[in-house]
Structure formats: structure tokens, C-alpha cells
């Protein structure tokens, strides 16, 4: 795109499609060691931060429950016949608590900037709670027996809740300011690209009163002459290839590409390297003289950022998926414990060695985890590295191992990996760290292979129920598996997980490719 051209509307969807179709990344063999300064800074952010969306959601629930509790407490303390009016007060309490949370939301009292300075928002809090209780009082007057002594209860509820909200909001404000100072409740971002574009972006972000972005550093492939080692007070920590490792170590939330839209080829080149990370990828748009479609960008204060890629399964989606995993894992243990015991006895009784086999595999964000399986090979022939894939009639596999591998019973101990939070019940299958097809690692065969690790790996997955399980002896097999895994990531939903989970035992009846 020529810089002189100023189209009326820029369609970012084309860029998203190109990014999604790029399917490119550096392989594990091409990983570049980050420098000492980058390691030091990454160490400061090794602990996961708090998602503002999750914190605010928890705050809403906490305030709802506390306001309801204060309604019931006021009823028991003030009302002469508290038990007789318990149901009516419970209904009033639920209504009042719900209206209070809704009113606080309408008055923007759940914005992080408002929560930071609770004393400035006392008027909003007073107004929101007064409106909520007034509506409840009107409802009681119209639909309930006013002579039952609700007036005194409502007065006590109003006063106690108001004091609670002031005290609670003061403590929350202190906590959020402390978390902000420690970098716990801010979105951690890295600027990709240096020079004047990065400087202008940083200055624009710093001027925003509602800025929740903490810039952790700058990465740029250009030398010091074209891209200074220090930009607006932030150091250049390395090249874009080194950024991939840094982002994994530092739990980065967002990558902001500070390049003009005219550098489309360079942006696509960056996307091939960066899309494998479980982060939001944004393109700085503050310096581009273009008008964008409203859904194409987000804002940090008044600074527009084009939304290129979003982190998959985030915030409350991740909470829902974790709850799904825990509930169905416990159900599976309750139903399958006889199978666990039978398999353990069979493995131990028919060959010497441990019952369980532990193998290092790639987990979420490319982290290495220890995955559990029932041992299916002779101990002295086992291959923890998985360099040599199991083949049909493999002499390393025990007779019992052959059966439990065909039926996938050997995978059942991975339910404990799920409960520990290392795996999900449904997701891309975790492969051994050194797994390969022929003489190539999977990352060398498939461009974009490590994008599978943008979500937690699973005990079962979309590829497995579509027949892509068992031996990987050709390049095409790992390519097809990766394609199915990426489809799952892009189309995830709880219903999709439920479908895969319930189809798994049916599809496992096909043991053609399981050795």
C-alpha cells in the first residue's frame, strides 16, 4: 500500500486471514537464546498476573452475595418475626443485590480506573445503591404486606450496605493500586519494532489516564543505527526470534506491532513468527490516517489498536473450561476406578517395572510437563524421548501393553494431569519433546506446529476422534493432526468439548491405527 493512498475504510479482515493462513514459525531447533538483560526482565514477570476481567467479575459476585447476606442479616436482627418473612426478604434481597450490581455497572463503578480511586466515586456508589433500594421499596409497597415491618428492615439494610460498600471499595482500591505498582493487574505488553513509531506509541499510551498496559520491552531485528537500543526509556531486548522465548518466560499478554500499514510484507513476516504464542496481537493504528470499522480495533484510552489475533480461550472462557475439566474428571474417576485398578494389577503382574510411565511432553505455551501413562512397554526397552515411534507388532510393547494401547486405557492416568491443571480433558494431544517422524522433529515438518500449544493439551482431541491417532510415520499424518488441532483452537466452545468428549469412547472402537 502506498503511503500517499488514504482509502476511506481499511478492511483488517484480509490481514487476519493472511495471518491465520501463514502457519509459520521458528522451529525449536531455530530458537535463539535471549540475552542476560531480557532474562532478568522476564524473571520479574515470571508469575502470572490477574486478569482485570476476572477480578471485576469476581467483585460483582462478591458484592452481590454480601448485599444479599446483609439483607437477610437485617431481617433477623430487626424484624420481630424474622422467620415468617424470610422468604419475602430473600426475594427482596436477591432483587436488591441484583439491582445494585446492575446500577453500579451502569454508573461505570466497575471500571478499573474508578476502582483505583474509590473516594472519588462515593457519589456514584450512593446513587446506585439508593436507586436499587428505592425500586425494591416500591415493589414491597405494591406487592407485599407493608405492615409486616419491612420499613425498619429496609432502613437497616440500606445503612449497613452503604457502610459495607464504602469500606469494601476502599480496600479494593488499595489492593488494585498495589497490584498495579507490582505489575500484577496490568496487561503486559511488548512492542515489536523500534524507532520513532515505537516512541510515538509509547508516549501516546503513557498519556492515557486509563492505561492498563505495562510495557516490558522492545524487540526489533534492525540494528542500533535504524532502531536505537533505548526508546522512550524502554530497552531493546533483542530480535523478534528471541521475542518468542521471552514472551513464554514473562507471561506476556499482548504484542503490539509498531509498524505502518504500508509495511504489509514485514507485518506478515512477523506474524509467521509470533502467531504461535498465546497472546493478543495488535497493530498500532494511532499514526495511520485511516478510518477503521468499529469492530476492527480496540482502544487503550484514546489510542486505537487494530485487533489482528486474540488469545484463545481467555478470561471467563478459561474458567468455564477449567470447571468443565474438573467436573468431568471427577465423574470419570468415579465411573472408571475399577478399570484403573484392573489395569494397574495387569501391568504389574505381567512385567517387571513401575505401573506408571512418566514422559516429558510439550504443554501449554510450550512448557515441558510430565505426562502420566500406564506402562505399556518392557521397562528395559522403554523410550522416554519417543524418538522411535511405536509400530505395529513392536517387540518393545508387552502383551498387556498392546491391549491397553489399542483401547487407550494407557492414557487414563492423564486424568490426574487434568486435575493438576497441566492438561485439559479436550485439546491438542501433547507430544513428547523429541517426538519425530522419520528423522525430522514435528516442528521441522509442519510450519506453525507450535501454535498447537496456544491452549492446554488434552487427553482426547478433535484430531483423535477423526481418526488421526496412533503411529506418525509420514509427514502428512502430523500435518493433518496439526490442521485438526488448529481448527479446534479457532472454533472452541464448551459444546464442542462436550461433543468431542462423548464421541471419544465411540471412536475408540476403531483401533486400526493404535499399536
On the question of pLDDT at 7 being above 70, the answer is no
Q: How many CA atoms within 13 Å lie on the side-chain side of 139?
A: 16
> Tens digit of pLDDT for each residue in 109-140?
998 878 888 888 889 999 999 999 999 988 87
Q: Which three cell numbers stand for residue 148?
A: 409486616
Distance (Å, whole) CA 77 – CA 92: 16
Is residue 334 a contact partner of residue 340, using CB atoms and an 8 Å limit?
Answer: no
Element (DSSP H or E) covering residue 495:
helix 494-507
Top-confidence residue, 252 or 1: 252
Task: Give residue 288's pLDDT band: very low, low, confident or very high (50, 70, 90).
Answer: low
pLDDT digits (tens, 9 = 90+) for 311-361: 898 888 999 999 999 999 999 999 999 999 999 999 998 888 898 988 888
pLDDT number for residue 29 = 35
Give the whole-angstrom CA distance, residue 263 versus residue 79: 71
Cα–Cα distance for residue pair 357/354, rounded to 1 Å: 7
Q: What is the Cα–Cα distance from 439 to 389, expressed in whole angstroms?
A: 11
Q: How does pLDDT run across 360-416, given as a tens digit for each residue?
A: 888 888 888 999 999 888 887 776 666 666 667 778 888 888 888 888 888 999 999
> What Å distances lie between residue 127 and 109, 132, 134, 137, CA to CA?
11, 9, 10, 15
Q: How confident is the model at residue 480 (pLDDT cuts 50, 70, 90)?
A: confident
Mean local confidence (pLDDT), 217-243: 82
Q: Which CATH class is domain 9-49+186-311?
A: alpha beta
CA atoms within 13 A on the CB side of 510: 12
List CB contacts of 256: < 8 A, sequence separation 6 or more: 189, 190, 191, 192, 201, 282, 283, 284, 305
Band (210; pLDDT cuts 50, 70, 90):
low
Report the distance separating Cα 233 and Cα 252, nearest Å: 19
Q: What is the DSSP string of 190-213?
A: EEES-HHHHHHHHHHHHT-TT--E
Cα-to-chain-centroid distance, residue 390: 33
Q: What is the pTM of this model?
A: 0.77
* pLDDT for 15: 44
Using CB atoms within 10 Å of the CB of residue 33, give its burial: 0 to 12 exposed, 13 to 18 middle, 19+ buried.
exposed
Backbone angles phi, psi at 172, to 5 degrees: -65, -40
Per-residue model confidence as pLDDT tens digits over 142-200:
766 655 567 888 899 999 999 999 999 999 988 888 887 776 777 888 998 877 888 88
**Cell, residue 228:** 536505537
Q: Grid coordinates standing for 96?
A: 436488591
CB distance 245 to 27 below 8 Å: no
Count of CB atoms situated within 10 Å of the CB of 453: 24
Confidence class of residue 9 from pLDDT cuts 50, 70 and 90?
Answer: very low
Please check whether residue 101 is in contact with residue 125, taking contact to mean a CB–CB distance below 8 angstroms.
Answer: no
Higher pLDDT, 95 or 289: 95
Chain centre to alpha carbon of residue 213: 17
* 239, three cell numbers: 530480535
CB atoms closer than 10 angstroms to residue 437 = 20
> Could you tell me the residue ranges of all domains in the chain?
9-49+186-311, 52-181, 316-507
Q: How far apart are CA 406 and CA 404, in angstroms?
A: 6
- Tell me the pairing of strands 9-10 and 368-374: unpaired
- Asked if residues 234 and 218 have their Cβ atoms less than 8 Å apart, the reply is yes
Instruction: Give the pLDDT mean for 55-63.
Output: 92
Burial label for 422, CB within 10 Å (0-12, 13-18, 19+), is: buried
- DSSP letter at 296 equals G
CB 362, CB 457: distance < 8 Å: yes
pLDDT at 60: 94
Amino acid at each position: 500500500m502506498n503511503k500517499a493512498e488514504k482509502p476511506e475504510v481499511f478492511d483488517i479482515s484480509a490481514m487476519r486471514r493472511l495471518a491465520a493462513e501463514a502457519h509459520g514459525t521458528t522451529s525449536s531447533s531455530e530458537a535463539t537464546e535471549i540475552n542476560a538483560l531480557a532474562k532478568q526482565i522476564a524473571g520479574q514477570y515470571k508469575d502470572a498476573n490477574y486478569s482485570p476481567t476476572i477480578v471485576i467479575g469476581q467483585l460483582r459476585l462478591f458484592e452481590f452475595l454480601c448485599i444479599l447476606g446483609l439483607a437477610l442479616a437485617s431481617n433477623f436482627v430487626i424484624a420481630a418475626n424474622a422467620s415468617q418473612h424470610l422468604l419475602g426478604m430473600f426475594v427482596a434481597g436477591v432483587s436488591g443485590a441484583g439491582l445494585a450490581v446492575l446500577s453500579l455497572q451502569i454508573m461505570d463503578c466497575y471500571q478499573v480506573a474508578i476502582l483505583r480511586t474509590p473516594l472519588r466515586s462515593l457519589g456514584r456508589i450512593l446513587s446506585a445503591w439508593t436507586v436499587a433500594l428505592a425500586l425494591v421499596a416500591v415493589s414491597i409497597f405494591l406487592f407485599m404486606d407493608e405492615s409486616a415491618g419491612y420499613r425498619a428492615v429496609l432502613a437497616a439494610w440500606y445503612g449497613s450496605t452503604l457502610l459495607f460498600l464504602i469500606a469494601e471499595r476502599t480496600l479494593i482500591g488499595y489492593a488494585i493500586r498495589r497490584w498495579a505498582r507490582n505489575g500484577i493487574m496490568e496487561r503486559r505488553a511488548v512492542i515489536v519494532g523500534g524507532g520513532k513509531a515505537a516512541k510515538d506509541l509509547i508516549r501516546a499510551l503513557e498519556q492515557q489516564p486509563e492505561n492498563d498496559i505495562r510495557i516490558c520491552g522492545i524487540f526489533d531485528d534492525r540494528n542500533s543505527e535504524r532502531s536505537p537500543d533505548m526508546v522512550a526509556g524502554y530497552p531493546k531486548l533483542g530480535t523478534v526470534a528471541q521475542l518468542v522465548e521471552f514472551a513464554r518466560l514473562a507471561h506476556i499478554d499482548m504484542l503490539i506491532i509498531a509498524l505502518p500499514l504500508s509495511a504489509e510484507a514485514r507485518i506478515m513476516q512477523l506474524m509467521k513468527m509470533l502467531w504461535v504464542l498465546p497472546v493478543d496481537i495488535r497493530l498500532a493504528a494511532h499514526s495511520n490516517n485511516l478510518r477503521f470499522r468499529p469492530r476492527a480495533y480496540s482502544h487503550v484510552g484514546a489510542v486505537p489498536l487494530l485487533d489482528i489475533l486474540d488469545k484463545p480461550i481467555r478470561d471467563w472462557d478459561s474458567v468455564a473450561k477449567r470447571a468443565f475439566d474438573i467436573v468431568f474428571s471427577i465423574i470419570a474417576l468415579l465411573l472408571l476406578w475399577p478399570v484403573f485398578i484392573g489395569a494397574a494389577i495387569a501391568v504389574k503382574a505381567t512385567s517387571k517395572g513401575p505401573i506408571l510411565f512418566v514422559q516429558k511432553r510439550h504443554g501449554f505455551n510450550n512448557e515441558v510437563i510430565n505426562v502420566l501413562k500406564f506402562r505399556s512397554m518392557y521397562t528395559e526397552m522403554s523410550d522416554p524421548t519417543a524418538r522411535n515411534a511405536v509400530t505395529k507388532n513392536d517387540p518393545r510393547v508387552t502383551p498387556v501393553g498392546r491391549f491397553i494401547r489399542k483401547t487407550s486405557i494407557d492414557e487414563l492416568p492423564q486424568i490426574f494431569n487434568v486435575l493438576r491443571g497441566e492438561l485439559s480433558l479436550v485439546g491438542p494431544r501433547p507430544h513428547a519433546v523429541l517426538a519425530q517422524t522419520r528423522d525430522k522433529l514435528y516442528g521441522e515438518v509442519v510450519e506453525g506446529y507450535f501454535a498447537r500449544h496456544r491452549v492446554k493439551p488434552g487427553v482426547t482431541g478433535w484430531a483423535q476422534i477423526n481418526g488421526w491417532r496412533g503411529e506418525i510415520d509420514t509427514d502428512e499424518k502430523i500435518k493433518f493432526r496439526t490442521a485438526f488441532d488448529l481448527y479446534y483452537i479457532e472454533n472452541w466452545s464448551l459444546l464442542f468439548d462436550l461433543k468431542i468428549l462423548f464421541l471419544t469412547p465411540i471412536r475408540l472402537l476403531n483401533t486400526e491405527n493404535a499399536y
